[in-house]
C-alpha cells in the first residue's frame, strides 16, 4: 500500500504540481495532499486507509453522500446501455425537463460537460443576443478558467480587467469590467458610464470561491433593475449553488425575497451531474433562439448530454426532490454552523459563519465579510493551523481559506458531534 507522500512524489513526476486542479495540492495550507481511494456516505478514505468526515463532497455535487444506492444503480444501468453515442438520447430530454420544472426563469436549457464550458457559452450567448461586447464580473466571484474571466479589479472604478494568469493576453480581457461585490454605488456608476455597451453581468448569487459570501438584497435588487433598464442580460452562475442551497436554487431564494425576481440566463453544474462531468446553461426562449443550430451563436461538445452523466444527474435530482429533503439538510447545516460559532466563542476566537441549504462557510473574523477585500483580511496562518488540526482529527475541510463547505444528506448527528469536538480541540 502506497502512502500519501509516496503517491504525491510519484504524481509530481508526471502531473504538473502532482494534481489536476490546483487547490488539491495543499499549497495554500501546506502539508501533503490526501489521495482518496474511495467514498461511502459522508466519508472518504485515503490511500492509507484513514477515514475522514467529508465536507468537500467533490466541491458540491455529492449532496446525497458518496455511493447513494439509487444513483449507483442508475449509473450501472446506463453503463450497460452504452458509454457515449454522439447522438441524441431520450435521457437528455428527461434531464432538461427535470431542470426546467424546478427553474421557472428558463424555457430551454443546453447541456454541456463543465461549469467553465457553461459560463463561457452563457457569456457568448449574451453577446450574440445583444450585439454588445463588454460585460461585468465581480472580484472574488469565480466563473471557471476562461481567458476573459481570469481577471481582477484595478484600483479605479470599473477598471478594465488585467489577466491574473500568465498565458492570457491583455487584449483577451479588455472587454471585462471588474467591480466590487455588493457595492451598489460602484455598480450604478459603471452602468451610467458603460450601460449601452454592456452585454451582460455575470454573478455568483452566493459566492463560493471567496468562501461563502451572499449578495445583499439591495445589491441584487439594483443589479436586476440596472440590467433591465440598460438592456444587459443578467447571468446567474449557479454552478455551485444550483440545487445545493435549495430545490429552487439561489434564484428561488432571491425570488422569495424580491417578488418577480429572475435572471435572464442561468448556469448550473455540480449537483445536476451528481458527481459526473455535466453542466448546463439556459434562459428564456427568446434568448436561447440565438444558439446554434437555431441562431448564429456557436456551441458544441462531443460529450454534451453524455448518457451516463445524465443518468447520474437524473437520479440525484429525483432524490433531492423528495418531500422534506431540503428541510432536513438545511437544519443539519445550520446545526453545524451554529455549533462551530459556539465552539469558537468558548475559545475566544473571532469567528463568523453563514449557510444556505447544504452549503456553508466560516471566517476567522468577528463579522461576515461582504466583499473579497474583507475576505482577504482573514488570519491565514490561524486558518492553516485550524485546517490541519481538523484533518488530523479526521475532518476533511477545504484545503484553502477561500472555499465554501458542503454538508450532505448522509452526514449524521454523530458526524456533526465529532466535527464539533475536533473543532473545540483545534481552536483551543
pLDDT tens-digit profile of 94-143?
A: 999 999 999 999 999 999 999 999 999 999 999 999 999 999 999 999 99
pLDDT reported for residue 162: 54
Task: Compare 173 and 54 and report the one with higher pLDDT.
Answer: 54
- Relative to beta strand 134-138, strand 43-46 is unpaired
Q: What percent of the chain has pLDDT over 90?
A: 89
- Report whether pLDDT(218) > 60: yes
Q: Would you place residue 149 in the very low, low, confident or very high pLDDT band (cuts 50, 70, 90)?
A: confident
Supply the range of the domain harboring residue 35. Answer: 4-67+323-427
Pairing verdict, β 206-207 and 43-46: unpaired
Query: Domain tally for the chain?
Result: 2
Same-domain pairing of 345 and 403: yes
- pLDDT score of 154: 33
Domain check: are 233 and 335 in the same one?
Answer: no
List the grid coordinates of 117: 464550458
pLDDT of residue 156 exceeding 70? no
The answer to which of 12-26, 143-157, 221-235 has the lowest mean pLDDT is 143-157
Find out whether 403 and 378 touch, Cβ atoms under 8 Å: no
Q: Are 225 and 113 in a shared domain?
A: yes
- In the predicted model, what is the mean pLDDT of residues 73-80? 98
- Where residue 344 falls among pLDDT bands split at 50, 70, 90? very high
pLDDT for the residue numbered 376? 87
- Active-site choice (46, 54, 181, 237): 237
284 is catalytic: no
Q: Could you confirm whether 372 is annotated as catalytic?
A: no
CB 234 within 8 A of CB 200: yes
Whether 221 and 195 map to the same domain: the answer is yes
Q: Which of 43, 46, 254, 270 is catalytic?
A: 270
Q: Which residues pair with 234 in a beta bridge?
A: 201
Which pLDDT belongs to residue 152?
Answer: 66
155: pLDDT strictly greater than 50: no
Question: Do residues 61 and 278 touch, judged by C-beta distance below 8 A?
Answer: no
Q: Are residues 210 and 314 in the same domain?
A: yes
Residues 185, 76, single domain; the answer is yes
354 neighbors 361 (Cβ within 8 angstroms) = yes
77 and 62 co-located in one domain: no
| 61 and 102 housed in the same domain | no
* 305 Rama sector, left if φ>0, alpha if ψ -120 to 50, beta otherwise: left
> What value does the mean pLDDT take over residues 398-410?
94
Instruction: Write down the catalytic residue from 52, 142, 181, 396.
Output: 142
CB 273 within 8 A of CB 60: no
130: phi then psi, degrees, rounded to nearest 5: -100, -20
Those residues whose C-beta lies under 8 Å from the C-beta of residue 331, and which sit 6 or more positions away, are none
- Spatial CB neighbours of 187, under 8 Å, sequence gap ≥ 6: 136, 179, 219, 222, 223, 226
For the domain that residue 24 is a member of, what is the CATH number?
Answer: 3.90.1150.10
pLDDT of residue 114: 97
pLDDT for position 147: 85
Residues 236 and 302 occupy one common structural domain: yes
pLDDT at position 244 is 98
Burial class (CB in 10 A: 0-12, 13-18, 19+), 352: middle
By the 8 A CB rule, do 185 and 158 touch? no
> Distance between CA atoms of 203 and 136, rounded to whole angstroms?
8
Q: What is the pLDDT of residue 191?
A: 98
**Beta-carbon contacts of residue 168 (< 8 Å; ≥ 6 apart):** 147, 150, 151
Residue 307 belongs to a domain with what CATH number? 3.40.640.10
* Cβ count within 10 A of residue 420: 18
Q: Quick one: which of 14, 46, 15 has its CA closest to 33?
A: 46
Q: Does 313 share its domain with 193?
A: yes
Active site residue 142: yes
Shared domain for 253 and 278, answered yes or no, is yes
Minimal CA–CA distance to 250: which of 194, 205, 191, 216?
A: 205
Amino acid at each position: 500500500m502506497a502512502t500519501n507522500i509516496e503517491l504525491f512524489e510519484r504524481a509530481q513526476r508526471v502531473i504538473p504540481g502532482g494534481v489536476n486542479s490546483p487547490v488539491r495540492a495543499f499549497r495554500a495550507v501546506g502539508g501533503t495532499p490526501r489521495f482518496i481511494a474511495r467514498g461511502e456516505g459522508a466519508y472518504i478514505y485515503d490511500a492509507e486507509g484513514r477515514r475522514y468526515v467529508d465536507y468537500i463532497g467533490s466541491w458540491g455535487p455529492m449532496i446525497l453522500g458518496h455511493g447513494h444506492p439509487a444513483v449507483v444503480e442508475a449509473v450501472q444501468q446506463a453503463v450497460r446501455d452504452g458509454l457515449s453515442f454522439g447522438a441524441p438520447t431520450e435521457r437528455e430530454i428527461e434531464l432538461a425537463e427535470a431542470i426546467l420544472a424546478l427553474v421557472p426563469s428558463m424555457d430551454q436549457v443546453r447541456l454541456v460537460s463543465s461549469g467553465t464550458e457553461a459560463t463561457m457559452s452563457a457569456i457568448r450567448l449574451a453577446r450574440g443576443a445583444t450585439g454588445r461586447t463588454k460585460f461585468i464580473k465581480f472580484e472574488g466571484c469565480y466563473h471557471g478558467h476562461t481567458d476573459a474571466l481570469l481577471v481582477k479589479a484595478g484600483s479605479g472604478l470599473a477598471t478594465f480587467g488585467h489577466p491574473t494568469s500568465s498565458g492570457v493576453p491583455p487584449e483577451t480581457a479588455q472587454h471585462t469590467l471588474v467591480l466590487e461585490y455588493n457595492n451598489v454605488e460602484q455598480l450604478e456608476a459603471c452602468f451610467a458610464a458603460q450601460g449601452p455597451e454592456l452585454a451582460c453581468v455575470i454573478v455568483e448569487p452566493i459566492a463560493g470561491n471567496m468562501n461563502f459570501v451572499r449578495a445583499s438584497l439591495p445589491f441584487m435588487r439594483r443589479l436586476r433593475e440596472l440590467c433591465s433598464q440598460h438592456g444587459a442580460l443578467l447571468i446567474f452562475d449557479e454552478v455551485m449553488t444550483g440545487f445545493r442551497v435549495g430545490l429552487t436554487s439561489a434564484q428561488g431564494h432571491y425570488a422569495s425575497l424580491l417578488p418577480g425576481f429572475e435572471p435572464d440566463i442561468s448556469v448550473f453544474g455540480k449537483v445536476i451531474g451528481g458527481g459526473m462531468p455535466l453542466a448546463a446553461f439556459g434562459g428564456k426562449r427568446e434568448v436561447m433562439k440565438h444558439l446554434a443550430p437555431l441562431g448564429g451563436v456557436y456551441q458544441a461538445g462531443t460529450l454534451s448530454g453524455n448518457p451516463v452523466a445524465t443518468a447520474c444527474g437524473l437520479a440525484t435530482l429525483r432524490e433531492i426532490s423528495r418531500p422534506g429533503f431540503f428541510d432536513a439538510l438545511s437544519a443539519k447545516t445550520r446545526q453545524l454552523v451554529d455549533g462551530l460559532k459556539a465552539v469558537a466563542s468558548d475559545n475566544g476566537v473571532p469567528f463568523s459563519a453563514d449557510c444556505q441549504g447544504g452549503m456553508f462557510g466560516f471566517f476567522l473574523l468577528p463579522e461576515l465579510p461582504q466583499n473579497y477585500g474583507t475576505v482577504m483580511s482573514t488570519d491565514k496562518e490561524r486558518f492553516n493551523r485550524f485546517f490541519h488540526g481538523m484533518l488530523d482529527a479526521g475532518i476533511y475541510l477545504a484545503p484553502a481559506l477561500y472555499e465554501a463547505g458542503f454538508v450532505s444528506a448522509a452526514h449524521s448527528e454523530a458526524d456533526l458531534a465529532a466535527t464539533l469536538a475536533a473543532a473545540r480541540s483545534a481552536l483551543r
